Structure 1
Amino acid sequence: MSPGTLTRLALAGNRTDAARVALTALSAALATLAGLAALTVLAIQKPPGDAHQQSEQYVNALLREPGLRGGTAFALLLLAIPVLALAGQSARLGAPARDRRLAALRLAGATPGQVTRIVMLETGLASLVGTLVGLAVYLVGRELLHRPDANGQLALPTDVLPPVPAMAAVVLGLPLVAALATAVLLRRVAATPLGVFRRAARSGSPRPWPALLIGFGVLAAAMIEPIQRAFRDARLDWLAVVVLIGLFSAVMGVILGAGWLSYLAGRVLHRFAGRPAALLAGCRLADDPWASSRTFAALLAVVVVGGGAAAFRAYFLLNEQLQREQNRQAGYDDEAGLYGSFYLDTMDLIDLAIAVAVSIAAAGLLVTLVEGIVSRRRAYAALVAIGVPRATIGTSILWQMLAPVVPAVLVALGVGYAIGRLLTGEAVRGGYTQEVCQATVELCENPATRAEYTELVEVGRVVHTPDVPVVQLAMVGGGAVAAVLLTVGLGVLFLRSNTALEELRVG
């Protein structure tokens, strides 16, 4: 098969295929923007001077202070997680029609390898278009947003550009990774002239072994402080690697654990539910419990990060309150030397990023839900034909989404908060000695007499524990569940058109 023929077959399809390609390209563009933004932050050159010398050409302290740029770049890369999950969920849009098209190609004489290359080329080309669009938006936005203020400072790092090899790695690497991921996903799929099927599906009920991954992630966070005490010269980048590995392990444990929670919820509904909608949902959850891990992967990852952000905000709030109290006791201005407000402003930006990530994850949920309704439209039409009301089917879809996601969100919140709480620790004040002059101001200010009245005083060590941020945790978890409810409400709108009796003949 020539490259031209391969390309034409990869680009062929109906409107659903065009929508899948468009969503894949959009996801690739958003992921490119996130990656290029992170590279731009890392490309800021450190000004000459000591290690704490700041880049004064920027307004935002996240860009001025060298020690905060790594965390800023990491936060930008976190936004790529739900975007990439959206790309994976978009790849399943219109899957039944694509499967029939692949079967027709096999019937016309295409080999299994050629069919796999067609699907890889479709995903790779769509991703390449998206990355090129993302690069164009980045370059144009860089020029449009380069507006120094009256003091010559910039709001964004539009004066620097990442290295060209790094930009090329993002723009060309993402389509390559997408194509390779497609090949990996198709390794268990057989395209035959009679249809497309999986060679080996997962059998057996899920097990709660992902709890081991969660425990490892929490343990890694708990070991940071002992490592710092044992190795005083431990490099910060090694500690960051430990934190990243632990966070990744915990997130994967939560995502994979959603399969076990889905299976457990399905068994409970099947045994104790007395309504048809709950019974339908229970059978579906028990039949394919791993669907929850695939469907809610991005949302649960964002919730874990949100739980950790809530722990950090509680720690910074406590530090700000203690510093205000210390300033009032010392007779200073209430706002003097308040570093806590800077960190709280930073947490506001992180919360905004989490809200955007939840929105992107909700878009991926909507794509998955609509695809599930379309792919099962013949089964739903058969239920309607035998007298099952569409409202019952819609309610079963609601049960199918909420039954696993509510406990999974609670677990994700708990894991994220536990990791954040272990990383921040307690707020400690005192525990040191200081010189105190026990005399009048005149005697203390006179160098000749100050030493006579000065003595060392032990300042007691007081440990303050941050409060549990119940309100913010409820907002993160409630926002995730509300996004699922909104997604179900929008997805059920497609139910009536896909449960018409004609679907029994044309599905």
Structure 2
Amino acid sequence: MRPGVALRLALAGNRTDTARVVLTALSAALASLAGLAALTVLAIPTPPGEPGSNNSEQYTNALLREPGLRGGTAVALLLLAVPVLALAGQCVRLGAPARDRRLAGFRLAGATPGQVTGLVAVEAGLASLLGTLVGLVTYLVGRVLLHRPDSRGLLPLPTDVLPSPLAIGAVVLGLPVLAGLVGVVLLRRVTATPLGVVRQIRRERAPGPWAGLLIVAGLAAFGLLVPIGQWYADRGQEPPPMLEPALMLGGGLAALVGVVVGTGWLSYTVGRLLHRHGRGPAVLLASRRLTADPWAGSRTLAALLAAVVVGAGAAGLRASMIADMAANRAGGQGFAADDDFYLNTMDLVDRAVHVAIALAAGGLVVALVEGIVARRRTYAALVASGVPRSVIGRSVGWQALAPAVPAIALALAVGLLLTWGVAGRPRTYGGHSIQVCTGDAARCVDPSALREVWVPEGVVRPELPWEQLAWVGAGALAAVLVTVGTGLLFLRMSTAVEELRTG
């Protein structure tokens, strides 16, 4: 198949296919912007010198000035790309049944299965490439427009640096390749034949609770950070430089995958409970859907649960910082300016979590609407047989909320425990003398104006951040509710009796 023919066939389709291309391109543009912003932060040069005296003083923000804070800033920016990539994965599935029928027509015209799969990869890759190019242009234009030094010549953003061409190329070209691979993977169980679309889906057993082992392993990895550090400190040694990052990255990924995969088991278990104890046709319809396809919750809620885990972890980290500040102030070592800086930094992390939840809600809307459209013949048959649309609407709500509520609670608990194992220990202070001055600044220059004060020993224990956890959980639950409300708008048009004639 010539490249020109493949391009025309990949871009062919109806309005749903056009919407899939547009949404995929938009997702790729947002993900590329997040990646380029993170690479820009990492590209800031560090002047030579001792730690503490090698800051990049051309910036107004300490997150950009201090080399030790740039890594966390880049990670926070990359976290924004996670729900965006999940949204792109949902967009690739948009209109899948109609696309499969169109691909079957290509097979009827003589295309091989490999060529059909290649068309899917080309479609997703081209849409993502268009999005990353738009993201690159937006990044370059924004870099020029936002380059505004203040009266002292200091910059609010790192508009004076650029990532290396290799790094930019990796983002602009790597995301389309990834999108193409995702499209191929999503089509791996579908075989387009000249007679139609045959879905080769094996009959699988019910999900087991083995995902809990991943969660336990992730929590154990974080819990080992303090004992391992203490073990090396007792022997006067430094731990290997990659040990702590490996434990944190591996433990975080294991816990996150455990939460996402465990949602399948939660969906199946909730479905069985609703089928056994539920009352009413809406609950029974939802219970059957949950037990028939329990992994739907893992697919649709993955990005939202990732944002909730990060938000809960940030809440635990904030509580740890507040405990550190209280212990330092009680011991006579606190500085209000430093306290404000670190708390303001955590505010930025919280805003990133809010944006991630909003982006994840977009993916939920796409997934729910796609599910309603894909099952429109079933819903139309139910309406034709006398089932009210209100019952179907309530069943859709039960199907979305029943697994989401326990999954969000699990994500909150896991995210908090990840940081609590490291930062939830009590802080001790005091047991020493400090010099204080009761006069003004001019008088305190005289050493005779200083007097020693004994600071008694004390303990500060971090408080559980119930309020912040409640806000994160409420935001995630609100995203699910908005998703359900948006999906129900498509229910009436998808339950028309004329849909029974849809092929």
Per the alignment, residue 393 of structure 2 pairs with 394
Per the alignment, residue 493 of structure 1 pairs with 489
8 Å CA contact 1:311–1:469 kept in 2: the answer is yes
8 Å CA contact 1:377–1:499 kept in 2: the answer is yes
CA spacing shift, 1:421–1:190, aligned 2, 3 Å: same
Give the C-alpha shift of residue 324 in structure 1. 4.4
Per the alignment, residue 429 of structure 1 pairs with 428
Per the alignment, residue 440 of structure 2 pairs with none
Query: Could you tell me the TM-score, scaled by structure 1's length?
Result: 0.92
8 Å CA contact 1:123–1:179 kept in 2: the answer is yes
Per the alignment, residue 251 of structure 2 pairs with 246
* Residue 112 of structure 2 is aligned to residue 107 of structure 1: no
Give the C-alpha shift of residue 226 in structure 1. 1.4
8 Å CA contact 1:16–1:94 kept in 2: the answer is yes
Name which of 287, 290, 298 aligns with 1:293. 298
Give the C-alpha shift of residue 343 in structure 1. 1.2
8 Å CA contact 1:308–1:419 kept in 2: the answer is yes
Give the C-alpha shift of residue 435 in structure 1. 7.7
CA spacing shift, 1:207–1:245, aligned 2, 3 Å: same
Give the C-alpha shift of residue 463 in structure 1. 3.0
Per the alignment, residue 49 of structure 1 pairs with 49
* Residue 239 of structure 2 is aligned to residue 234 of structure 1: yes
Question: What is the DSSP-based 3-state SS (H/G/I as helix, E as strand, rest coil) of the residue aligned with 1:190?
Answer: strand
| In 2: Cα distance, 1:337 partner to 1:363 partner | 40
Alignment of 1:28-107 (within 5 A): 28-52=28-52, 53-107=54-108
2:497 is aligned with what amino acid? Answer: L
Give the C-alpha shift of residue 339 in structure 1. 1.9
Compare 173-182 and 156-165 and name the one that shifted more.
173-182
1:228 is aligned with what amino acid? Answer: G
CA spacing shift, 1:432–1:47, aligned 2, 3 Å: farther
Per the alignment, residue 384 of structure 1 pairs with 383
| In 2: Cα distance, 1:315 partner to 1:294 partner | 33
* Residue 316 of structure 2 is aligned to residue 311 of structure 1: yes
8 Å CA contact 1:434–1:458 kept in 2: the answer is yes
| In 1: Cα distance, 2:203 partner to 2:49 partner | 59
| In 1: Cα distance, 2:141 partner to 2:327 partner | 45
- Cα deviation 1:139-182 (Å, max 9, x = unaligned): 00000000011221111111110111111111111111221222
| In 2: Cα distance, 1:238 partner to 1:143 partner | 40
| In 2: Cα distance, 1:48 partner to 1:504 partner | 72
CA spacing shift, 1:126–1:117, aligned 2, 3 Å: same
2:376 is aligned with what amino acid? Answer: R
Per the alignment, residue 276 of structure 1 pairs with 281
* Residue 188 of structure 2 is aligned to residue 156 of structure 1: no
CA spacing shift, 1:356–1:154, aligned 2, 3 Å: same
1:102 is aligned with what amino acid? Answer: L
| In 2: Cα distance, 1:435 partner to 1:339 partner | 20
* Residue 207 of structure 2 is aligned to residue 206 of structure 1: yes
Give the C-alpha shift of residue 81 in structure 1. 0.6
Compare 54-63 and 347-356 and name the one that shifted more.
54-63
Question: What is the DSSP-based 3-state SS (H/G/I as helix, E as strand, rest coil) of the residue aligned with 2:57?
Answer: coil
Compare 5-14 and 461-470 and name the one that shifted more.
461-470
Alignment of 1:13-24 (within 5 A): 13-24=13-24
8 Å CA contact 2:323–2:427 kept in 1: the answer is no
| In 1: Cα distance, 2:435 partner to 2:98 partner | 81
| In 2: Cα distance, 1:300 partner to 1:383 partner | 32
| In 2: Cα distance, 1:176 partner to 1:49 partner | 41
8 Å CA contact 2:330–2:430 kept in 1: the answer is no
Question: What is the DSSP-based 3-state SS (H/G/I as helix, E as strand, rest coil) of the residue aligned with 2:59?
Answer: coil
Question: What is the DSSP-based 3-state SS (H/G/I as helix, E as strand, rest coil) of the residue aligned with 1:187?
Answer: coil
Give the C-alpha shift of residue 428 in structure 1. 2.1
| In 1: Cα distance, 2:112 partner to 2:49 partner | 63
Query: Could you tell me the TM-score, scaled by structure 2's length?
Result: 0.93
CA spacing shift, 1:274–1:45, aligned 2, 3 Å: same
- Cα deviation 1:81-107 (Å, max 9, x = unaligned): 100000000111111110110111111
* Residue 402 of structure 2 is aligned to residue 406 of structure 1: no
Per the alignment, residue 184 of structure 1 pairs with 185
Give the C-alpha shift of residue 30 in structure 1. 0.7
| In 1: Cα distance, 2:435 partner to 2:153 partner | 45
| In 1: Cα distance, 2:203 partner to 2:246 partner | 33
Alignment of 1:327-366 (within 5 A): 327=332, 336-366=335-365
Per the alignment, residue 369 of structure 1 pairs with 368
- Cα deviation 1:427-450 (Å, max 9, x = unaligned): 52336655889xxx99x947xxx9
* C-alpha RMSD of matched pairs (Å): 2.3
Compare 148-157 and 206-215 and name the one that shifted more.
148-157
1:157 is aligned with what amino acid? Answer: P
| In 1: Cα distance, 2:264 partner to 2:447 partner | 70
Name which of 479, 488, 496 aligns with 1:483. 479
Compare 257-266 and 237-246 and name the one that shifted more.
237-246
| In 2: Cα distance, 1:202 partner to 1:471 partner | 44
Give the C-alpha shift of residue 340 in structure 1. 2.1
Per the alignment, residue 257 of structure 1 pairs with 262
2:313 is aligned with what amino acid? Answer: G
Question: What is the DSSP-based 3-state SS (H/G/I as helix, E as strand, rest coil) of the residue aligned with 1:203?
Answer: coil
Question: What is the DSSP-based 3-state SS (H/G/I as helix, E as strand, rest coil) of the residue aligned with 2:169?
Answer: helix
Give the C-alpha shift of residue 57 in structure 1. 1.1
Per the alignment, residue 502 of structure 2 pairs with 506
Give the C-alpha shift of residue 319 in structure 1. 2.9
- Cα deviation 1:180-211 (Å, max 9, x = unaligned): 22223322321112222332335110000000
Give the C-alpha shift of residue 337 in structure 1. 4.8
1:379 is aligned with what amino acid? Answer: T
Compare 182-191 and 204-213 and name the one that shifted more.
182-191
Unaligned runs of 5+ in 2: 437-442
8 Å CA contact 1:319–1:340 kept in 2: the answer is no
1:174 is aligned with what amino acid? Answer: L
| In 1: Cα distance, 2:149 partner to 2:128 partner | 34
2:125 is aligned with what amino acid? Answer: G
| In 2: Cα distance, 1:284 partner to 1:435 partner | 67
Question: What is the DSSP-based 3-state SS (H/G/I as helix, E as strand, rest coil) of the residue aligned with 1:47?
Answer: coil
Unaligned runs of 5+ in 1: none
| In 2: Cα distance, 1:326 partner to 1:150 partner | 39
Question: What is the DSSP-based 3-state SS (H/G/I as helix, E as strand, rest coil) of the residue aligned with 1:463?
Answer: strand
Question: What is the DSSP-based 3-state SS (H/G/I as helix, E as strand, rest coil) of the residue aligned with 2:191?
Answer: strand
8 Å CA contact 2:327–2:427 kept in 1: the answer is no
| In 2: Cα distance, 1:212 partner to 1:458 partner | 49
Compare 1-10 and 401-410 and name the one that shifted more.
1-10
